[in-house]
Amino acid sequence: MTDEHPENTGPDRWTDEAKDSFVRAAEALTSALRTHTVAVAAAGSDADVATISAAKDALAVALEAYDEAQYDYSGTFPPFAIIEEDVDDEHDHAHDDDSDAAPLLDEAITGVTILQRTDYRITDPQAVLAAGIVAQRAAPDEIEGPVNDLGAALYALAHGSGPGGWSRLGDTSGVDPVAQVTLAVANEGLLPGDPDEWPEDSLSVEEGELIFQEGATWVD
């Protein structure tokens, strides 16, 4: 099959509905690719492999949906479908599924873990320290002083008065946001109530099913 002689010649080709579905699939693929890029670029150790794997699985789903949507609209395949055709020496448009498991129903979800990583570039440590000192002095009952290093300054900025929390760092002089990735994972292995019982790597989820993901970058 070539693009010059489309395999799909059905009456649903070139319809507005099929076009809208294709555009939505393209937007979802763009988001999934951005999230995957952020997840890989932000990784720094084997502890991040689970996050990369979850983003990879989501990207694979988005790629397949894009493939299907382009085929349904135009009868043609995107470049990665052609690559797959060359490697496998055939292209089965039905796409074999590696798992027969049904999607996890919302009723079956009893716990959710939100994994978020946000990276910032520190461009002016002294400005950050000064901002942290101001934040601590504005809320001395909530933030113990003195603020005399970068870590204490970041804590003071995140726990100062007003909304925002840690996301407030992005509005601080001397701090430039770089990238962020957020994963929502259906997870039964929630942290126990006693912090002393938390695992050493409490930010890693060994088992669970990705139910939502997004990513963002703020640099070229």
DSSP result, 103-149: PPPGGG---EEEEEEEEEEES-HHHHHHHHHHHHHH-TTTS-S---S
As averages over each run of 10 residues, the pLDDT of the chain (220 residues) reads 53 83 87 84 80 83 87 81 43 41 64 89 93 89 89 91 78 88 86 87 78 73
The model carries a pTM of: 0.50
Q: Where are the domains of the chain?
A: 16-88, 125-169
Res 7: pLDDT = 57
- Name the token pair of 106: 């919302």
Res 8: pLDDT = 55
C-alpha of 204 from chain center: 15
Q: CB count, 10 Å around CB of 154?
A: 23
Res 160: pLDDT = 80
- Which residue type, as a one-letter code, is found at position 57? D
Res 103: pLDDT = 55
Bridge partners (DSSP) listed for residue 24 = none
State how far the Cα of 158 lies from the Cα of 160, in Å rounded to an integer: 6
